Amino acid sequence: MKITGYRCLRSFHDWGRPVGDVNGFIESGVTEVPIVILETDEGVTGVATGSHHDIERLFPAIEGQDPRAVSALYDRMLARVFKTGHGGATYSGIGTLDTALWDIKAKLAGEPLWRLLGGGDRFVAGYASGLDIALDDDQLASFYRTMAERGFTAGKLKGGRVVADDIRRLHIIADELRGNADHPALMLDANESWNLKQAVRHVTAVEAVHDLTWIEEPLRRWDAAGHARLSRSIKAAVATGEKLTGLDQYLPLFEAGAVDVAQVGSPAGVTHFLRVAYAAHSRDLPISPVGLTANASVAHAAAAVPNHLSAEVQDLGGPFGIDIDMEYADGGIVLGDRPGAGLTIDEDAIAARGTAGGAWLVQGGPHVRPKRAGLRMVAEDPSSLPG
């Protein structure tokens, strides 16, 4: 069997609400979803959502190869771009192709990916995460009420600007989830918007009221010394890593004792998740993948590692034209039995609808870092103040 080609499609996800974080938000709530379909000479195709970045440059590393050699092909893709660097968006392109390869491998075995990878249980524990920085208090309560109806007992707030707002909004999340647990787990995500002392002051103030399970991405992703100092200064765990690209970027944080919960971004693919999970496991650290709404494959991988803690569930819907064989129940993800990662694509419907104008990379959106991020003396945005 040989890999012969690929097709790139673009669909969209209508979240039904504004989505974003302290860095910005998408008012329309409509975002683009890139899809890659990997072709073989035997007609079996691999499907993955993620990124199209550098796919054309990466594909020669796997063209003509046997798709079942997934780990070796992953390293071939890394080797293909080692001079220019595999970090950043290129790594997401590697992750998308890697995920498509795992889909093929599981389909050939006639097994769902979670079982092929060695998982014994189709259930993946999760937590609710509304990407909720732009929601008012009533909308925030409504989202977590809906998630509570699916059994979730943990929720993550996008915050980091005004302490009083974060404290109030964490109360709202806790109130909605309390029907499932007397003491719901609460997390706060600052999305790299603080310097060290801002983080200590903000988290300490929140912890005076709430028992935070973790603080997420408090500092810049590479700041091993800062994360280690922060972890020693607060009660909450420090969760970070979702923007790191490659196991090599985790090692300085691991060695510095800078990570309490190792996170992995789902677009980076299955092999990346597995390698980071086992590196974390060797240090007795839990692993938590983020952004699984359209990336079911990493949920399959999470079911197969011994140190999975909880996976981020951002929405109960899914991208247009993509049927995913999983459901949300009992506070997590219930994976199906469809061979592969469980994705079925309606190419005709997607071709007819396109991306519906969705994008993540828009001015003022969460993927564009604000000019003064981490450099504020007061919490308020001066442009929002009267006069």
CA-to-CA dists, residue 15 to 69, 273, 315, 358, angstroms: 36, 26, 7, 11
Inter-residue contact 186 to 168 (CB < 8 Å): no
User: Nearest to residue 216, comparing CAs of 295, 154, 134?
Assistant: 154
pLDDT reported for residue 387 = 38
pLDDT reported for residue 380 = 62
pLDDT reported for residue 110 = 98
Inter-residue contact 131 to 139 (CB < 8 Å): no
Quick: pLDDT tens for 333-367.
999 999 999 999 999 999 988 766 677 666 778 88
The residues facing 237 across adjacent strands are 214
What are the φ and ψ backbone dihedral angles of 50, each rounded to 5 degrees? 160, -95
Q: pLDDT (tens digit, 0 to 9) for every residue of the chain, 387 residues total? A: 999 999 999 999 999 999 999 999 999 999 999 999 999 999 999 999 999 999 999 999 999 999 999 999 999 999 999 887 777 889 999 999 999 999 999 999 999 999 999 999 999 999 999 999 999 999 999 999 999 999 999 999 999 999 999 999 999 999 999 999 999 999 999 999 999 999 999 999 999 999 999 999 999 999 999 999 999 999 999 999 999 998 999 999 999 999 999 999 988 999 999 999 999 999 999 999 998 877 889 999 999 999 999 999 999 999 999 999 999 999 999 999 999 999 999 999 999 887 666 776 667 788 888 888 888 778 765 444 343
User: Nearest to residue 28, comparing CAs of 16, 41, 42, 38?
Assistant: 16
pLDDT reported for residue 360 = 64
Report the C-alpha gap between 220 and 218 in whole angstroms.
Answer: 7
pLDDT reported for residue 114 = 98
User: pTM score > 0.85 for this model?
Assistant: yes
Quick: pLDDT tens for 166-182.
999 999 999 999 999 99
